[in-house]
Homo-oligomer: A and B are copies of this chain.
């Protein structure tokens, strides 16, 4: 293992103290009135030796790591990975690194990950929290760490939040169905108390009520989300063959639903009109292309990282406000109006 160069090596070579080297390397030469000549010689020698500061020693001393911990639900979900990518990029430009992990929306697992992040002394947190994390987030904030939540938040908890207009997304989707002449409109969502899901449900309910239509909702238990969502959806569609349209609350529910429709030899939109939340880039190539409620990935990422880094750099306090970004209904084939009488 090659020995790393430390400021002591440079100090020795230049016959000065390590403090002088430290000041010079931190650009405090003028402030500490180190002579121009010495400054330049130290800089030159540091470059020559290929000196790289030991971040660990630096962090131990300063208490800052320039690392941001990010917890997403699932890094292999295109919605989250797109956000992670943009956040990572912006953070890098501002001199910060992002460490991300998938929570699987599991409370216990997430508490463990939070411990890991605290142990790693990350400077700040970006979190799409699973349920039941109020206490931990509260403590995190009380201990002075800046936290920005995104995609969802907790009603009782004062935090900085960046979310999209989930209510309006669902509302627009249902209005679109109604304008296309659908009346029997279902909503397939997760059985979750989380605010983003509740808002989507409210948007659906509201739009249905305003249109004088009756709600029909399937709540898939969270635990079986990946294992057997398809089974539940299949039963639901079979039991409610009168349905003309369905809004899916997440992209993976929609994908499971489309698989079920394939199985049942149902075509969208002829047999069932379909809209999904989260516009993932693959939807345009699905059979049929899928209408989706697009969340503004770039805007979410920008808002999140901006707020966090502003706070970190100013050592000020984070403004505990909720930023709501608009959604956009991307209309594709899966929700085309069906002309023929059913």
Contact = CB atoms under 8 A, between A and B. Distances in A.
Interface of A: 1-2, 52-57, 59-60, 65, 74-76, 78, 81-82, 84-85, 88, 97, 99-102, 115-116, 118-121, 142-144, 255, 258-259, 262, 280-282, 284-289
B52 A121 contact: no
Contacts of A262: 285
Q: How many copies does the complex hold?
A: 2
A88 B102 contact: yes
Contacts of A53: 119
A276 to B, nearest CB: 11
A60 to B, nearest CB: 5
Contacts of A85: 74-76, 102
Contacts of A84: 75-76
A78 B184 CA distance: 35
B88 A54 contact: no
A262 B116 CA distance: 47
Contacts of A2: 142-144
Residue with the highest number of chain B CB atoms closer than 10 Å, among A52, A53, A60, A116: A60
Contacts of A81: 75-76, 81
A1 B57 CA distance: 21
Given A101-B88, A287-B286, A119 B1 contact: no
Contacts of A282: 255, 280, 282, 285-286
Given A88-B102, A258-B285, A282-B255, A56 B65 contact: yes
